[in-house]
Structure 1
Amino acid sequence: MDDLEHWIRLAAIPSMDRLKHQQWVELVSSADFHQLDDYQLQQLGFTLGQIQCHRAITPQRIEHCLQWLQISPDHHFIRYTDPLYPELLSQIKQPPFALFIKGNPALLNEAQIAIVGSRQPTATGKQVAFNFAADLCRLGLTITSGMAKGIDGCSHRGALSVRGNTIAVLGHGFDTVYPAQHKELAAEIASSGALVSEFLPDVQPKADHFPLRNRIVVGLSLGTLVVEAALKSGSLISAGYAAEYSRELFVIPGSIYNPQAAGCHQLIQQGAKLTTCVADIIEEWSFLQNNSLSTVKDKEKNLQTGLFDDSLLANVGDESTAIDVIAERSGLSVAQVSIELLQLELAGEVAAVPGGYIRVRRA
């Protein structure tokens, strides 16, 4: 059995404490390992679940992995001991033994920020994710997310819109695209960025795979930005990983009437950084150019100066007004209106309601 097959078998075993990685690598690579029975493996420290996963790797599955790697020069298999294995990911408690990658593996060692959030975001949440991703890419950061519906997809698209780098971490193998509606998005990410999975190509999506995916999204990144998250959102799992890994956690606030923002408010109460503009993120990282920070601050200052222009507020009525209607009336783009409405909401001038926004009348 060659070295690559050993590592493919390791990749199928649920991740273990990084301090034990070398022990497992040496053990599985030993000539007599496959002669050990289940009891002997348990005595060595394997759990029953890990043993079952290892036994389930048939020669056919190994061959399928090898064929996948040979299909394209853009298909890669990065071992935990390889120089290309991402340094930040190697520091987490349970790093993957190996990664299957479609695209550019070098991106995994670039400076990244994770953007996560609701699968059913508001129109404002979608626009905020898209715009933050685009602006952060312009400053040289790579956007990492999970390619789920909602905030994840908007973040990837925001990065791609400015020809920035983006990485999508999958909760399944490469034989599947999930969700199916992101087939074209996945192809676009792979062509200019990277798709990443710790799962063998034939592994199908399962609910318990997505928390595992989230730990990689956060583990690859210097920090995580949460855009809209309900109290039971999977994004709170990502936020927990950020705290566990001692990574920065940035959170966009929202309306108190928006249940998709309740988890965000909880995170802010627990100490996450309240974030309303890109400058809030940049100022935490000195490696980004100072002139970039001043440029962003000037841009956002100019934006905020115009937020309370009566011409925009005049187009928000006492009854729910849709964003596209406000944009048409004000002569602004939907993207611009979405950003300004968020700031107006934070200032207490408008409130998000089903179908759009209403003006808050002060006594």
Structure 2
Amino acid sequence: MEEKPFWVALQQTPGLGARRVLQLVKYFGGARAAWEAPEGELLTLEGLGKGAVSLLNWRRQVHPEKIMVSLAAAGIGVITIEEEVYPPELKRIYDPPPVLYWRGSRLPGEGFKIAIVGTRRATAYGLKVAEELAAGLAEAGVGVVSGLARGIDAAAHRGAIKGGGLTWGILGCGVDIVYPREHRELYRQVMEHGAIISEFPPGTPPDAGHFPARNRIISGLTAGTVVVEAAARSGALITADLALEQNRDVFAVPGPITSRYSQGPHDLIKQGAKLVSGVADILEEYEPRSLWSLPREETRASVTLNAIEEKVLAVLEATPSHLDVIMAATGLPAGELNTALIMLEMKQLIRRLPGGFYVRC
């Protein structure tokens, strides 16, 4: 039996938690080995504590393969951290979720993404700005990630859809639960233009304690986080703090000084976040700037490439691609690929972006 059912069964163990799941799998050398570990060894394993009792009780109640059958019947996909389709940028954070549940049309690991977050009690100004920024990013080929909450999040998703792009909604509940309820149609649209994602098992209700964990996925999936409106203490600022901890970029949109929802972005700007007055302020951090006076075809003809460089350049586009995706597409060993990328960058045919992304000039 493949490992995936055991990853899911471990992840769904009440009280075990993401970090302990990863520790168990590492200690026993695999998810199945951890699930089937001898009782005595689990009970004496240092640091597991009550988690051992929870796991022993849970594995008496459930069968991993039946869990997978139930998920498939509900139309819910599963991605585990050991799979190639797991988002590479998320895998690099301090505490990545071992399992992601998703419903939609596009895997969360696809493409270059930016998060847009903010208050649920957004002003008309904030809603307009969030939607316009998201639409601009989408038109430029950048995916938009947010939390499907009321206010700024909803405006960001709608803007991405309006711009004809991809968008992913990260939930603090199961992917089978529409929260808030009035977002049922938006939920459906996000599924059509991306996916609904959660680390919480289906059926998990929304809970205040879930949202900080949800926020680390929003920031962890993306190259940067844009805060549009947020009070001095808000979930959006937690997401911004997590982005900084994850070595991601933070952007902030200024607002009227008379609005309490401008305080969060203004404080971020004082602390070094980049001020955003339009989508160009975001894109210029990542998009290649033209270094040529000649058209691309003329410039390209003047540069000599070897066979490996030709192969790498052929898979790169104006939309950023991650190193792992390039490696999979070319089939090249890591050493040869890195050498080719360095040479292509020196020849000014590609540009390296933060987070292991590359883009064709």
TM range (shorter): 0.7 to 0.9
Query: In the alignment, what sits opposite 1:5?
Result: 5
Deviates more, 1:97-106 or 1:139-148: 97-106
The answer as to whether partners of 2:170 and 2:214 remain within 8 angstroms in 1 is yes
The answer as to whether partners of 2:117 and 2:152 remain within 8 angstroms in 1 is yes
**1:30 Cα offset (Å):** 1.6
Alpha-carbon distance in 2 for matches of 1:285, 1:18: 35
**1:22 Cα offset (Å):** 5.0
**1:192 Cα offset (Å):** 2.3
Cα distance 1:281–1:232, how it changes in 2: closer, same or farther (>3 A)?
same
1:223-246 deviations in Å (ceiling 9; x for gaps) = 000010101111111011111011
Query: In the alignment, what sits opposite 1:149?
Result: 150
Matched position secondary structure for 1:200: coil
- Return the letter of the residue paired with 1:245: Q
Matched position secondary structure for 1:132: helix
The gaps in structure 1 that reach 5 residues or longer are: 292-363
1:289-320 deviations in Å (ceiling 9; x for gaps) = 789xxxxxxxxxxxxxxxxxxxxxxxxxxxxx
- Return the letter of the residue paired with 2:50: L
Query: For residues 40-189 of structure 1, what are the structure 2 equivalents within 5 Å?
Result: 40-41=42-43, 43-48=45-50, 52=54, 55-56=57-58, 58-59=61-62, 63=66, 65-72=68-75, 75-189=76-190
Query: In the alignment, what sits opposite 1:257?
Result: 258
Alpha-carbon distance in 2 for matches of 1:115, 1:160: 14
Query: In the alignment, what sits opposite 2:17?
Result: 14
Alpha-carbon distance in 1 for matches of 2:86, 2:271: 33
Cα distance 1:35–1:149, how it changes in 2: closer, same or farther (>3 A)?
same
The answer as to whether partners of 1:84 and 1:105 remain within 8 angstroms in 2 is no
1:157-186 deviations in Å (ceiling 9; x for gaps) = 111112210000111112311111111111
Deviates more, 1:153-162 or 1:101-110: 101-110
Cα distance 1:54–1:273, how it changes in 2: closer, same or farther (>3 A)?
farther
Query: In the alignment, what sits opposite 1:283?
Result: 284
Cα distance 1:21–1:92, how it changes in 2: closer, same or farther (>3 A)?
farther
What is the identity percentage for the equivalent residue pairs of Structure 1 and Structure 2?
36
Matched position secondary structure for 2:109: helix
Query: In the alignment, what sits opposite 1:272?
Result: 273
Cα distance 1:289–1:236, how it changes in 2: closer, same or farther (>3 A)?
farther
Alpha-carbon distance in 2 for matches of 1:227, 1:45: 41
Alpha-carbon distance in 2 for matches of 1:33, 1:149: 43
Aligned residues: 288
The answer as to whether partners of 2:6 and 2:35 remain within 8 angstroms in 1 is no
The answer as to whether partners of 1:17 and 1:95 remain within 8 angstroms in 2 is no
1:42-72 deviations in Å (ceiling 9; x for gaps) = 6343253586377457428974553222344
The answer as to whether partners of 1:8 and 1:62 remain within 8 angstroms in 2 is no
- Return the letter of the residue paired with 1:8: V
1:314-343 deviations in Å (ceiling 9; x for gaps) = xxxxxxxxxxxxxxxxxxxxxxxxxxxxxx
**1:282 Cα offset (Å):** 1.2
Alpha-carbon distance in 2 for matches of 1:290, 1:193: 33
**1:191 Cα offset (Å):** 1.8
The gaps in structure 2 that reach 5 residues or longer are: 293-361
**1:200 Cα offset (Å):** 1.0
The answer as to whether partners of 2:43 and 2:52 remain within 8 angstroms in 1 is no
- Return the letter of the residue paired with 2:227: V
The root-mean-square deviation of aligned C-alpha atoms, in Å, is 2.7
Alpha-carbon distance in 2 for matches of 1:32, 1:96: 18
- Is it true that 1:234 corresponds to 2:235 in the alignment? yes
Alpha-carbon distance in 1 for matches of 2:46, 2:7: 19
- Return the letter of the residue paired with 2:113: Q
1:116-138 deviations in Å (ceiling 9; x for gaps) = 00000101000000010001100
Alpha-carbon distance in 2 for matches of 1:25, 1:194: 33
**1:17 Cα offset (Å):** 8.1
The answer as to whether partners of 1:9 and 1:54 remain within 8 angstroms in 2 is no
**1:32 Cα offset (Å):** 7.5
